Structure 1
């Protein structure tokens, strides 16, 4: 039995775990304010909030329900736009949208309202950047974003004096959320939510890619949901190494204070990866085993020279260098019944430099045409160690073995970088597809490789230093 709270109603259902939360909300509960748009997690029309109880407090995050399995709602508080409503008056988010004329046809409006309500419920700093991040996964095709941005500004101004408390009293008193929210912590505590015995089936964590490709199949067949397996969660730093559980999400990395001190541009890099709704759902393990040649986080971890831990059903573990994991298009070193459990890498030192670059048709919310990452250790202008990865130019997410080997031990100079680019071009084999021609991808590979050095060492290099000689 899947048990959770939907708005102010306790749900116990025997519906299939693999059906989408969107379909359950709309067709089984007739809550049609949650809209069907792209069914790919891109438009935000189906945005709902998921409240998770931990240490006697609830953390709310926005997700796209069209690519989320119903079974992942077990033990949670799910909030649709109907669940944000007050009686006979508008909420703060609804009023902000109305006051700033931020709606026309209204189709996208519920998703924006839910996302802005999620921002009010979050513990993030009340500033405009965070408010805009909260609605980064919501698309409106008729109003234009200035009016919506003004609504976000109004929300931020109203939240300036917010007093955070676990009972949400301030938000209730100031009409951001309805009164029933103060009862949810106790009600979730009292829910009977023992681990359900799930049938054998395809491992699914966040489902952000699987449900784009196979939603109907997963709704009709057995799934083994692992998103709530605690042993696959968490980010630990010890002995100059970082270990990330494969159930951890991009948002877990985004919000990790210590990791951000090691990677000062981390949020800037991760903003290129996906919207906030997807960052809240997408697991690192899912990204790696998806084996997409353009997987952003795969490229990210390849440049960190990461190792992955793989375990079988008997609990036996083995470690595999990520750069040796991929064997061919969508194939990798994972046997039947094995599961990725952790990703580990050495943390940067004072002499380390890391950068991530991505080119796609849109700056945000799009898959890469080509993406690339680099990690260098440089002392006295000598590259002591180099790791370079690139996506979109081979059948697999590509670790550039020869390019990395060539750079190691060389002087940090334009001649070195130009020669390394020649080696890079021999290592890649792009094809013509919808994201560009082979020639275009080679050009992007070159430009992103040069961009790593102009970004990391702006006083030493400019793009002109390379382009005129390339």
Structure 2
């Protein structure tokens, strides 16, 4: 039995765990403010908030309900646009949308309202850029986006530039209704026991599987793994970072220590999907999706990561991620096995890491080509190199030959130009909707050069490479 609080009421249902949360709230609960748009998590019309009880407080995040399995709502507080309403007046977010004429056809409006309400509830600094991040997964088809941006600024002005807006302050200032105060206690009292998991397709966040296989997952048994404790958490110890495969991009984004080791982490992660998807998609799912352009796969390949694989008997085995992929959508994972952790060495003062991506849209798009690099450099010598690239082979590609060539070489333009020649021999791009083979080769070259101009701007410019390439 799936149990959760939907807006202000307790829901208990025997519906299939694999049913989408969107279909449940619309068709079984008749909460039609949550709209059906793309059904791929791209448009944000179906945005809802998920509140998770953590140490007597609720952590709220926005997600796209069209690709979220209903079973993942178990034990949570789910908030649709109806659940944000005050009894006789508009909320602060709704009023900001109205006052800035930020609605045209109105179809996208509920999603924007929920996303901005989630921003008000979040722990992020209440500034304009973070507000825009919060609605990065919401699309307005009526080209009214500037008005929506003004509404986001209006919300920021109302909140003030502070992290200290408590539940009580937000309620008093009409960001959401008073019943939110009682949700932590009510979730505790709900005492939702773990639901019985049938044998079926393993599903974590579902953000890729529900795009590809929604009809099959809705009608058949799924085995939800988001609440498996063994697959959770981000920890650092003795220079090693260990990430549970159920962790999300947002978990990494919000991890203060990891941000210290990777100063440009948020800049890199902002290129990965949207905030709603970053809140729900698991790293394990990204790796086993085995997409040749999986952003986080390319990210972890360049960190020379090792993965731990767990079988249903509790036995573990370890494997270098660069040896995990065999062919297109084929990888070294047996029946009944799950990815448990991703491990990599944390950067040292001599380490340099960069991630680059080219796509048709800057944000919320799949890559044409993406690439990452990790270098260890001392006294202008490359002591260690790991380079990965996506979109130019049948698998997410760790560049063995290029990485080997760079190791032990002087950090010079000549070394980088020679390495590019080796890189071009390692890749085999095909022409498809994201670009021709020649175009992808050009992108691979430019992104490879961009790593060095980004990491060593005083030493290299793009002209140092392009005029000789």
The alignment's TM-score, normalised by the length of structure 1, stands at 0.99
State the alpha-carbon separation in 2 of the partners of residues 181 and 392 from structure 1.
45
Change (3 A) 1:364 1:393: same
Shift, 1:162, TM fit: 6.5
- Show the counterpart of 1:382: 381
Contact 1:3 1:192 in 2 (8 A): no
- C-alpha deviation, 1:105, in angstroms: 0.4
How far does residue 144 in structure 1 lie from its aligned partner after superposition? 2.6
Q: Return the alpha-carbon distance in structure 2 between the equivalents of residues 365 and 408 of structure 1.
A: 34
Matched ranges for 1:67-78 at <5 A: 67-78=67-78
Q: How does 1:115-134 map to 2 (within 5 A)?
A: 115-134=115-134
- Residue 161 to residue 295, structure 1, CA distance change in 2 (3 Å): closer
Q: Residue 328 of structure 1 corresponds to which residue in structure 2?
A: 327
Deviations 1:331-363 (A, max 9, x none): 111111010000000000010000000001011
Question: 2: CA distance between counterparts of 1:233 and 1:6?
Answer: 25
- What are the Cα deviations for residues 211-246 of structure 1, in whole angstroms up to 9, with x where unaligned? 001111000111000111122110000000100000
- In structure 2, distance between residues paired with 1:164 and 1:58: 15
Mapping of 1:280-299 within 5 angstroms?
Answer: 280-299=279-298
Alpha-carbon separation, structure 2, partners of 1:220 and 1:144: 38
Name the structure 2 match of 1:10: 10
Q: Stretches of 4+ moved more than 3 A in 1?
A: 161-166
Provide the C-alpha distance between the structure 2 equivalents of 1:175 and 1:233, rounded to a whole number of angstroms: 35
Whole-Å Cα distance in 2 between the matches of residues 115 and 418 of structure 1?
Answer: 45
CA–CA separation in structure 2 for the residues paired with 1:409 and 1:421: 16
| Change beyond 3 A, Cα 1:466–1:105 | same
Contact 1:163–1:170 (CA under 8 A) maintained in structure 2: no
Q: Is the 8 A contact 1:103 1:143 kept in 2?
A: no
Partner SS for 2:106? coil
1:64 equivalent to 2:64? Answer yes
Q: Write the distance in 2 (CA, Å) between the matches of 1:161 and 1:339.
A: 43
Superposed, 1:284-363 pairs within 5 Å as: 284-363=283-362
Counterpart contact for 1:162–1:171, Cα < 8 Å = no
* C-alpha contact 1:102 1:143 (8 A) present in aligned 2: no
SS in structure 1 at match of 2:343 = strand
Shift in Å at residue 191 of structure 1?
0.6
Q: Are the equivalent residues in 1 in contact too, given 2:84–2:177 (CA < 8 A)?
A: yes
In 2, distance between residues paired with 1:259 and 1:161? Answer: 25
Listed one character per residue, the Cα deviations across residues 84-112 of structure 1 (whole Å, up to 9, x for unaligned) are 00011000000000001111100000000
Instruction: Report deviation, 1:143.
Output: 4.0
Cα distance in 1 for partners of 2:163, 2:432 equals 52
SS in 1 for 2:24: helix
1:8-407 to 2 correspondences below 5 Å: 8-160=8-160, 164=164, 168-407=167-406
What's the CA shift for 1:196? Answer: 1.2
Equivalence for 2:425: 426
2:415 aligned with 1:416: yes
TM-score by length of 2: 0.99
2:223 alignment partner, SS class? strand
Question: In structure 2, what is the Cα distance between the partners aligned to 1:87 and 1:164?
Answer: 26
Instruction: List gaps (5 residues or longer) in structure 2.
Output: none
Q: How many residues align?
A: 469
Which whole-Å CA distance do the structure 2 matches of 1:193 and 1:298 have between them? 34
| Separation of aligned partners in 1, 2:430 and 2:273 | 25
How many Å separate the matches in 2 of 1:230 and 1:95? 41
